[in-house]
Structure 1
Amino acid sequence: MQLNSYDEWSKLKEVVVGTAINYAAHDRELSFDLFFHDNLKVRSEWYYPRLSTAAVSAQDGERVRHRIKQRYLDELNEDVEGIVDTLRTLNVTVHRPMTLDPSTAEVRTLAWSAAVVPPLNVRDIALVAGDEVIETPPMLRSRYFETQFLKPIFASYFKEGARWSAMPRPLMTDGSFDRSYVLSTTGGPTEPIPHPKTHCYDVGLEMMWDGAQCLRLGRDLVVNIANENHAMACDWLERHLEGRFRIHRASKLSDSHIDSMVIALAPGRLLVRSRAVADYLPKEMRNWDMIVAPEPAKNNFPIYDDDDLLLSSLYIDVNVLSVASDVVLVNDACPELARILEQNRFQVIPVRHRHRRIFGGGFHCFTLDTVREGGPEDYLS
């Protein structure tokens, strides 16, 4: 079938679901600490363990490996397969990336090396804009070549007529990163972000941006911009898509990804973390119906050990996946969210996903929809 995905809600026909096979650890280094800044800050939340600085921080630019407990990985793999099975029962064709070979220990470039992670959160590494798949320039060094795991899928769509492009890959030296968001955020990170080291391949700030920073609304794209790296990538996107899509910039709606802040469920209908989200959206969207997600409850989440590294926010379960404009996959650990959506006339399909905070993604993160029935409609005029 030909690539065709313009929005977040029309009937889903084909989707890529990520894989966590051979996911072993997180590497704490500069790009990791910058990206997960908002969730690595020392907190007093009732279930958020304080990190031990000596145990997990990266000192003097060195990588520090934080291993993931095997039981979490085993349960994650069970839950991912459950997502796949659910989608197939809904007559959705599911594509899977190539799996990470355990012998592929790290990626090395001109300027750095990093451990490789498997293609789990596939929403981040590509943007599907209508009949085009765009590989995005990652913000984490460990994900630099992650789109390679999806190459057979993208090649298949290309053979059927899809456009296929890649945004320029950054060198990603320490000097490539705009740290202004981190330095200006109240509370600061768990450990101070070190001053960037100079490198012979420094070229200044570079474009870095994930597909999950984009909300797709037919011919309109709402793009979250929190720093200069994002802004440069959005400049490229505007020029590349000129005449086909309209780009709307949302300034600092979140530190990076938009899909735990706001999800478009149907034309004129949004699921939001709070009503304050409206202030960041294009003015044409501010009168849309906003369904406010309930505050997370303590028993929505597993209880973790003090040495477990948690990467996603308390509101990760806003990260739902629409199978149609009235059908939504929701974490079965969140009955409060399911009730609110049902009260708003959505059919809720509960699916298990336990360790979304450990692995930094919900249903929307784990999926990349490649074929939906919708087209380039104008929902904002």
Structure 2
Amino acid sequence: MNSYDEWSPLKEIIVGSAANYSWHERELSFELFFYDQISNQKSFHDRMYYPHLEAPSRDADDTETADNADHRANAGRSPIKRRYVEELNEDVEGLVEILESLGVTVHRPLSVEGSMEIRTPAWPAAVVPPLNIRDNTLILGDEIIETPPQVRSRYFETQFLTPVFNEYFRQGARWTVMPRPLMTDSSFDPSYVNGGPVEFIADPKPSPYDVGFEMMIDGAQCVRLGKDLLVNIATANHAMACDWLERHLAGRITVHRVHGLADGHVDSMVLALRPGLLLVRTPAVVDSLPPALQKWDMIFPPEPDANNFPTYEDDDLILTSPYIDLNILSISPDTVMINEANGELIRVMERNGFTVVPFRHRHRRIFGGGLHCFTLDTVREGSVPESYLS
């Protein structure tokens, strides 16, 4: 385990799995997480799911008819067309082949076998496959940090990575799990979304497990820069988790907070390509960066072309912005992987001296993640982290 930054020559990586991806679990945590994108869609207002947190319950005789069980299991689920899932699986396996052809060792998570449901003391949720594995894990040098999830259906997602993490631990890696939130309705800070088209949590339903706001954050909210870590903060949940990271990393890595750069993830907003060079969505982003980073050279990509994406139907839930293809993966300081559909970005990167390795990812807007999202680099060259912001 050795990965301190986003650009050093890549040696080992984990690629997520989309096996048995069938639906999106629509409830409070999901709607909050994807609020920026889905709040403007017709399906959001037609089928918005207020939290309605309810503890698991059964009838007095503890029996349940098959029809009732099926209805309960499918309440709040937005189905995904089988064709999209099949094509996603083709694209993910194609990515694995490309990475292996570049000499990168690829690890895979366990797959979700059929339909799974988890239950905590406060809520039940269907399990989604471990596809966007960047979200719930942060790799800092020789340490695995499992981050506290923000979406209930992904609560135990890192369990599917256990065989890989176990092997790294046997080889000497450190392995840390941040505190897990209870995730009642009252756990979530609604300030980012309230004031928008819908007041999300005007009156949270009380739960015996309420403890107030809890720490929640994703690894994809962080930009790794050697001895420095850039962390995007949009809610009190993020701020609490950042408090934990600062205390845990004190003396090893300096945490730099940026506020409201995005609703959460920043890997389609700003990426470090190598020391002194950033890929940045728009010039408007620059003012939110730490002063030292504002001095770096920057590549601003062209506006994405609508023709880069498949045409979807009204009942298809779109989970990412058109900027999702900025979600690229560095193979080395001068080689990057980019979705082949975004010819504009490929040409810009080549003009800036990069070798581009194209790959196919058709339905990134349906499954809420690009290349950087469903990969987790675990080994890159270089054993000593450097400071690039001093």
TM bracket (short chain):
over 0.9
User: Offset of 1:59 from its aligned partner?
Assistant: 4.7
Tell me which residue corresponds to 1:45: none
After superposition, residues 236-255 of structure 1 pair within 5 angstroms as 236-255=244-263
After superposition, residues 264-275 of structure 1 pair within 5 angstroms as 264-275=272-283
After superposition, residues 71-150 of structure 1 pair within 5 angstroms as 71-104=83-116, 106-150=117-161
RMSD: 1.3
Paired residues of 1:52 and 1:307 also in contact (CA < 8 A): no
Q: Give 2:119's aligned amino acid.
A: R
After superposition, residues 286-305 of structure 1 pair within 5 angstroms as 286-305=294-313
Structure 2 CA distance for aligned equivalents of residues 80 and 294 of structure 1 = 26
Tell me which residue corresponds to 1:221: 229
User: Offset of 1:188 from its aligned partner?
Assistant: 2.7
Tell me which residue corresponds to 1:352: 360
Q: Are 1:57 and 2:62 counterparts?
A: no
Paired residues of 1:60 and 1:194 also in contact (CA < 8 A): no
> What SS class does the counterpart of residue 200 from structure 1 fall into?
coil
TM-score, reference length from structure 2? 0.92
Residues 10-53 of structure 1 show CA distances to partners (whole Å, capped at 9, x for unaligned) of 000000000000011001100011110000122xxxxxx63263
Q: Give 2:91's aligned amino acid.
A: D
Residues 144-185 of structure 1 show CA distances to partners (whole Å, capped at 9, x for unaligned) of 00000001101100001100000000000000000001114x
Tell me which residue corresponds to 2:321: 313
Label 1:29 to 1:269 Cα distance change in 2 as closer, same or farther (>3 A): same
Structure 2 CA distance for aligned equivalents of residues 202 and 380 of structure 1 = 40
What is the total number of aligned residue pairs between the two structures? 368
Structure 2 CA distance for aligned equivalents of residues 291 and 297 of structure 1 = 18
Paired residues of 2:220 and 2:373 also in contact (CA < 8 A): yes
Residues 335-354 of structure 1 show CA distances to partners (whole Å, capped at 9, x for unaligned) of 00000000100001110000
User: Offset of 1:195 from its aligned partner?
Assistant: 2.8
Paired residues of 1:278 and 1:286 also in contact (CA < 8 A): yes
Residues 298-356 of structure 1 show CA distances to partners (whole Å, capped at 9, x for unaligned) of 10100000100010111101100000000000000000000000010000111000000
Structure 2 CA distance for aligned equivalents of residues 28 and 87 of structure 1 = 33
Q: Give 1:77's aligned amino acid.
A: N
Tell me which residue corresponds to 2:387: 378
> What SS class does the counterpart of residue 322 from structure 2 fall into?
coil
Tell me which residue corresponds to 1:161: 172
User: Offset of 1:192 from its aligned partner?
Assistant: 4.6
Residues 209-241 of structure 1 show CA distances to partners (whole Å, capped at 9, x for unaligned) of 000000000110000000100000000011111
Structure 2 CA distance for aligned equivalents of residues 233 and 214 of structure 1 = 12
TM-score, reference length from structure 1? 0.94
Q: Give 1:57's aligned amino acid.
A: M
Q: Give the percent of matched residue pairs that are identical in Structure 1 and Structure 2.
A: 62
Q: Which blocks of at least 5 consecutive residues in structure 1 are unaligned? A: 43-48
User: Offset of 1:272 from its aligned partner?
Assistant: 0.9
Paired residues of 1:33 and 1:193 also in contact (CA < 8 A): no
Structure 2 CA distance for aligned equivalents of residues 60 and 35 of structure 1 = 13
Paired residues of 2:115 and 2:127 also in contact (CA < 8 A): no
Query: Greater CA radius of gyration, 1 or 2?
Result: 2
> What SS class does the counterpart of residue 182 from structure 1 fall into?
coil
After superposition, residues 190-229 of structure 1 pair within 5 angstroms as 192-193=200-201, 195-229=203-237
Structure 1 CA distance for aligned equivalents of residues 95 and 51 of structure 2 = 41
Structure 1 CA distance for aligned equivalents of residues 311 and 224 of structure 2 = 35
Q: Are 1:68 and 2:73 counterparts?
A: no
Paired residues of 1:111 and 1:171 also in contact (CA < 8 A): yes
> What SS class does the counterpart of residue 137 from structure 1 fall into?
coil
Structure 2 CA distance for aligned equivalents of residues 308 and 73 of structure 1 = 13
